Amino acid sequence: MDRANLNSQLEHLQSKYVGTGHADTSKYEWGVNQARDTYASYIGHYPMISYFALAENESIARVKFNITEKMLQPCGPPPERRE
C-alpha cells in the first residue's frame, strides 16, 4: 500500500471518527478528546451517572447537565500556540 493511500485513509478516519489522533496531536488535544469521550460514556451508562448523582446528592438531570456543560471545554483554555 503506498503512502498516499495510507494518508488518505487516515484522513478519512480522522474526519469520520472525532478524536482519531495524528502525528501532531498535542497533549491538550489528547486530553480534551479523552475527557469528552469519558463524559459521553458517563452519560450513556445510566448506573454510572446515578452513582455520581447519589454521591453528590443531586438529581440525575443536574449531573447530566453539569457533565454535558463540561464537555464544551473540559481541560480549560487551549495553550498558547508556539510558532
Residues near other proteins (CB under 8 A): 17-19, 32, 36-37, 39-41, 43-48, 50-51, 53-62, 65, 68, 71-73, 77-81
2 or 76: CB nearest other proteins = 76
Q: Which residues neighbour 55 within 8 Å (Cβ) at sequence distance 6 or greater?
A: none
Between 3 and 81, whose beta carbon lies closer to other proteins? 81
**CB of 3 or CB of 27, closer to other proteins:** 27
First and final C-alpha spacing in the chain:
34
Q: Where are the alpha helices (DSSP H) in the chain?
A: 3-16, 27-44, 46-56, 60-70
In contact, 74 and 36? CB cutoff 8 Å: yes
